[in-house]
């Protein structure tokens, strides 16, 4: 146990060094933190907050994206710690898309019902159809609900650099992927730097760290979820088995898509007596 504690402390020190380097490179007002309520961004936020407490500086502003199709448990968790940790938290939500979808998931959205910005965004990703289904994590949904909101936040708040909770092992990114990634300005994308202080953590390291430092997490991880995204795209990996007790080394982290009602109806019919 003692060696695990030491190991986790070492990983955190490495992250803290990245955070401190960021505070040296950027003004506090030019920095922001992304937070989803998931295990990765919560760890990153917790570490940044530690540095701020140690160095007696204010925690940078925090942004989160409400992709509409969300778990209540995540909202509750974020509300609680936004208050407890006194965060300056901004919720970003693409209300134009939600309105065009009539406020209901899976409804068909007509592209012409969207505002100019969202239409331009669809053009940017080369989407040529007249309609798309409103799903948070489809190609179009993901772009409009998340990527666009992220870029708009950076633009509106004049952010120069933003902390993200990405991990190298999760994203299968290049091994040399850097803690600081500069994004050049492009059409509809403002120039900014992405800072990834927990890049070196593996999923196992992460849960060990949560355990050793008693870092709070969303209750869904206790129920068997291993990865949290939109509600309809996050499935329980092992029912009733906390994420950290699962076989992290031999199974994949990204959960499969939850089955839709149509698939279930097909199974009901398959049972022969519908």
Please report, as ranges, the residues that interact with other proteins according to CB under 8 A. 223-224, 235-236, 238-242, 245, 256-259, 261, 263-264, 266-268, 270-273
CB of 262 to other proteins, least distance (A): 11
CB of 73 to other proteins, least distance (A): 14
CB of 270 to other proteins, least distance (A): 4
Q: Which is nearer to other proteins, 173 or 238 (CB)?
A: 238
CB of 170 to other proteins, least distance (A): 21
Residue holding tokens 């190991």?
7
Q: Which is nearer to other proteins, 132 or 207 (CB)?
A: 207
Q: Which is nearer to other proteins, 173 or 235 (CB)?
A: 235
CB of 223 to other proteins, least distance (A): 7
Distance CA 62, CA 76 (A): 17
Q: Which is nearer to other proteins, 171 or 259 (CB)?
A: 259
Q: Which is nearer to other proteins, 128 or 273 (CB)?
A: 273
Q: Which is nearer to other proteins, 89 or 236 (CB)?
A: 236
For the chain, report the end-to-end CA distance as a whole number of angstroms. 56
CB of 86 to other proteins, least distance (A): 33
DSSP string, the chain: -HHHHHHHHHHHHHHHHHHHHHHHHS-GGGEEEE--SSHHHHHHHHHHHHHHHHHT-PPPEEEEE--SS--HHHHHHHHHHHHHTT--EEEE--HHHHHHTTT-TTPEEEGGGS-HHHHHHHHHTT---SEEE--TTSHHHHIIIIIHHHHHHHHHTT-SEEE----HHHHT--TT--SEEEEPPBTTB--EEEE-TTTT--HHHHHHHHHHHT----GGGGGT-SS--SGGG---SSTT--GGGS-TTTS-SSPPPPPPHHHHHHHHHHTS--
CB of 240 to other proteins, least distance (A): 3
Q: Which is nearer to other proteins, 27 or 263 (CB)?
A: 263
∠ Cα 226 231 233 (to 5°): 70
């Amino acid at each position: 146990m003692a060696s695990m504690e030491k190991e986790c402390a070492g990983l955190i020190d490495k992250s803290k060094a990245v955070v401190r380097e960021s505070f040296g490179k950027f003004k506090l007002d030019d920095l922001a933190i992304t937070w989803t309520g998931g295990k990765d961004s919560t760890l990153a936020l917790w570490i940044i907050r530690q540095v701020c407490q140690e160095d007696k500086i204010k925690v940078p502003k925090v942004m989160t994206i409400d992709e509409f199709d969300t778990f209540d448990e995540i909202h509750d968790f974020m509300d609680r710690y936004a208050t407890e940790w006194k965060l300056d938290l901004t919720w970003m939500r693409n209300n134009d898309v939600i309105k065009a979808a009539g406020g209901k998931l899976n409804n068909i959205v007509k592209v012409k019902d969207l505002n100019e910005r969202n239409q331009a965004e669809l053009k940017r990703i080369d989407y040529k159809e007249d309609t798309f289904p409103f799903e948070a994590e489809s190609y179009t949904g993901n772009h409009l609900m998340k990527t666009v909101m992220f870029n708009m936040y950076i633009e509106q708040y004049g952010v120069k650099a933003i902390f993200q909770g990405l991990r190298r092992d999760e994203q299968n990114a290049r091994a040399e992927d850097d803690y600081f990634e500069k994004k050049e300005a492009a059409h509809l994308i403002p120039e900014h730097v992405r800072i990834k202080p927990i890049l070196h953590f593996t999923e196992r390291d992460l849960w060990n760290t949560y355990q050793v430092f008693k870092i709070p997490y969303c209750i869904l991880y206790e129920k068997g979820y291993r990865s949290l995204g939109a509600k309809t795209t996050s499935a329980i990996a092992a029912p009733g088995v906390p994420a950290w007790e699962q076989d992290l080394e031999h199974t994949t982290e990204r959960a499969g898509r939850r089955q839709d009602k149509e698939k279930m109806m097909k199974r009901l019919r398959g049972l022969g007596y519908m």
